[in-house]
Amino acid sequence: MCRGHLMSVDQIDLRLSLLSPRRPLVRLDAQSRLMHWWVPNAAGHRRMLRSAGFAIERATGPHAVRYGRSHAGHGARPSNPFKAARELVAGRGPLHQAVLARPVL
């Protein structure tokens, strides 16, 4: 484990987070080009940390980590209205949540 604090930043699924904000869920995305197979909702991200023996001290809301110039999606506009609305709220790029946690002794 670790001593002190742990900062965990993970990609989260916005739809699952909005539909089930308190229920930990995960989406299997075995087809992703980004090689990110499991995408939890915000509650799922926090539950994984608690299951690993950490106590949550603080968590951010969803925030986008911008695509870089070499990313295949850079510069493209979303064709899906849900994705377009998400970009207006959170920005372009995969959504992430940051959680500050400490080990439970």
Residue whose C-alpha is closest to residue 56's, from 104, 18, 22, 24 = 104
Strand ranges (DSSP E) for 50-94?
A: 54-59, 63-64
Cα 24 to Cα 96: distance, rounded to the nearest angstrom: 15
Does residue 44 register a pLDDT over 60? Answer: yes
pTM: 0.77
Task: Name the most confidently modeled range: 11-25, 32-46, 59-73.
Answer: 11-25
Q: What is the dihedral of CA 10, 11, 16, 22, to 10 degrees?
A: 20
Over residues 17-43, the mean pLDDT reads 86
